């Protein structure tokens, strides 16, 4: 019996990939999962290359694992994900104790690659891009919670000037519609009540159907909503460029789709959006939001912002701040611009010093936090439908669940409620969390 330890960095896509790896190795190789690095026979690092110095972070982690391998040379070290795809054999040149290097699209080959290493004691590497092949190896996994991520497509065709994803995940390619619906049906039978549809540009989904037609994203959402047991649907991440009217119409006729949308904009300046090669304007974004509010008046929107992009003037930054106020974003993921080698933006002059970038980031995040708190205050006294996920870590007498707009709510209740939707009256608000009590008509 062998044990695997897996460490995952990055987005929900990476988390989904790691769950696929675990299921494959458990079912095909009969391996067991361990939470102890010291007890592992196989160490797997699933990496992300979005942020600056991602490669260095990988080698620091590998340096720590080298000590384990020095004690036990039989330990196998595998590196996968975006950094592995980007760096390839360069990883082995710097860390020649690594045994396996696999890409974002070749994780399904891990069982075979492990067997090869055990026999040959030589490096096994495969960072190719076999289209959707990994999804043919999706096995029924044991789900312990009541929410689940499901990847519906891979890659990106947008080639934003700052982004490394198209180079590490490949071009956009959509999974067959029926494969997705089958996977979600299996999850529903296991007790999953909430599905989060994943993709680099999820709203660009165009999956083939059994009869040779194309299923678009709006239609896929409606089909998922028809699956027995699935009562709540989310998706991430969208691109404003392809947030078409047919998707907006789903908010009118599909109540299972949450009244919360994460729609990355990156900047409130058209000049900067053009430099970023985002291919839409602030006016385009505002038009989408107006239509969404008509379709779903109570919708709340979060976004992504990059601060200090090359060429961003104080005027550009102030335009972003005005835009944030006008849209009244609920939350955001906001970062200082990170130079990614190999991207067009890496060749631009980075004309803003780090102190100024940090100042702008602080101002932006402070504004967003105030708006988040304002949205939370509006929830005071309201009745919220909560999917109960488990017992609170803070107090075993309390349960916790999540609202449609991603607030954690704690309340007193019976363990029999776990996995069910209950109505909670909000009695106390914090910026990102709430407290309440059961509401019974």
Binding-site residue set: 11, 48, 82, 156, 160, 163
Report the distance separating Cα 140 and Cα 34, nearest Å: 20
Inter-axis angle of helices 282-295 and 245-253, to 10 degrees? 20
- The CA-atom distances, in angstroms, between 216 and each of 176, 201, 263 are 11, 13, 18
Say if CB 246 and CB 222 are below 8 A apart: no
DSSP 332-368: EEEEE----TTSGGGGS---S-HHHHHHHHHHHHHHH
- The CA-atom distances, in angstroms, between 96 and each of 59, 99, 125, 219 are 11, 8, 13, 48
Q: Which of 10, 12, 1 is nearest to 234 (CA)?
A: 12
Say if CB 228 and CB 188 are below 8 A apart: yes
Which residues make beta-bridge pairs with 198? 151, 236
Residue ranges of the annotated binding site for [4Fe-4S] cluster are 11, 48, 82, 156, 160, 163
Token pair for 281: 């304007």
């Amino acid at each position: 019996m062998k044990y695997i330890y897996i460490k995952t960095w990055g987005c929900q896509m990476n988390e989904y990939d790691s769950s696929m790896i675990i299921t494959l190795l458990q079912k095909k190789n009969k391996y067991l999962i361990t939470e102890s690095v010291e007890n592992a026979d196989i160490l797997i690092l699933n990496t992300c290359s979005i942020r600056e110095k991602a490669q260095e972070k990988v080698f620091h982690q590998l340096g720590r694992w080298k000590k384990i391998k020095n004690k036990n040379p039989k330990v196998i070290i595998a590196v996968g994900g975006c950094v592995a795809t980007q760096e390839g054999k360069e990883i082995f040149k710097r860390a020649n104790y690594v045994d396996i290097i696999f890409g974002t699209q070749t994780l399904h080959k891990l069982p075979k690659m492990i067997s090869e290493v055990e026999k040959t004691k030589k490096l096994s590497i495969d960072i190719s891009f076999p289209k959707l092949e990994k999804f043919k190896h999706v096995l029924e996994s044991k789900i312990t919670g009541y929410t689940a991520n499901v990847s519906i497509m891979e890659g990106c065709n947008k080639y934003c000037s700052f982004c490394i994803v198209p180079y590490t995940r490949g071009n956009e390619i959509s999974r067959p519609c029926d494969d997705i619906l089958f996977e979600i049906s299996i999850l529903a039978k296991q007790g999953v009540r909430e599905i989060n549809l994943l993709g680099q540009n999820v709203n660009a989904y165009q999956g083939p159907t059994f009869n040779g037609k194309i299923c678009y994203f709006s239609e896929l959402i409606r089909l998922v909503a028809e699956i027995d047991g699935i009562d709540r649907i989310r998706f991430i991440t969208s691109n404003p460029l392809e947030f078409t009217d047919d998707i907006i119409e789903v908010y009118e006729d599909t109540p299972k789709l949450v009244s919360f949308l994460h729609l990355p904009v990156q900047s409130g300046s058209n000049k900067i959006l053009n430099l970023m090669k985002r291919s839409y304007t602030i006016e385009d974004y505002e038009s989408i939001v107006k239509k969404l509010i008509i379709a779903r008046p109570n919708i709340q929107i979060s976004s992504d912002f990059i601060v200090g992009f090359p060429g961003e003037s104080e005027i550009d930054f102030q335009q972003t701040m005005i835009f944030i106020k006008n849209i009244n974003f609920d939350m955001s993921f906001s970062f200082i611009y990170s130079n990614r080698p190999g991207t067009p933006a890496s060749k631009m002059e980075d004309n803003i010093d780090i102190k100024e970038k940090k100042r702008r980031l602080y101002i932006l995040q402070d504004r967003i936090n105030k708006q988040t708190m304002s949205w939370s205050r509006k929830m005071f006294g309201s009745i919220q439908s909560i999917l109960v996920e488990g017992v609170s870590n803070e107090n075993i007498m309390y349960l916790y669940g999540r609202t449609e707009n991603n607030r954690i709510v704690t309340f007193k209740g019976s363990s029999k409620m776990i996995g069910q939707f209950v109505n909670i009256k909000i009695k106390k608000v914090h910026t990102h969390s709430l407290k309440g009590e059961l509401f019974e008509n």
